[in-house]
Structure 1
Amino acid sequence: MSNPPPLYRDPWAKREAWRRHPVFSNRAMFRNIFPGFGIAVAAFSVYVVAENVLQSDKSHHAPKH
């Protein structure tokens, strides 16, 4: 036999439903905690590599004192 449905109904169920939405999951919250962080890390890495390449290129052509 199947269990009968509960005799009570939660009057706040509709108002609390947003808490179970996937947008508010821990994974989504952690992923969106620092928006643009990945792009900033990539841009900074490109800057550091370019600076090192240009710096090493200038140091080879600089006259020694």
Structure 2
Amino acid sequence: MTQLYRDPWAKREAWRKSPIFQNKSMFRNLFPGFGWGLGAFTLYVIYDDFIAAKKPSSHH
């Protein structure tokens, strides 16, 4: 038997059900590289405050 109702736009609307477009995936990829940038900034601040501060400055 054939279906009584067949959606002619089903193929064109199938992308909406893809897992790429789910809210969880959208929020996870909202700020790409933020974790790496935060880590690099934290390491820079630690270096600047503790390691670079111990070196005596020659222009004082």
Give 1:20's match in structure 2, choosing from 17, 21, 27: 17
Query: Could you tell me the TM-score, scaled by structure 1's length?
Result: 0.74
Can you give the 5+ residue segments of structure 1 that lack an aligned partner in the other structure? none
In percent, how many aligned pairs have the same letter?
Answer: 55
Can you give the 5+ residue segments of structure 2 that lack an aligned partner in the other structure? none
Which is higher, the Rg of structure 1 or of structure 2? 1
Counterpart in 2 of 1:38?
35
Q: 1:32 Cα shift?
A: 0.9
Say which SS state the counterpart of residue 46 (structure 1) adopts.
helix
Runs of 4+ residues deviating >4 angstroms: none
**What is the root-mean-square deviation in Å for CA atoms of aligned residues?**
1.9
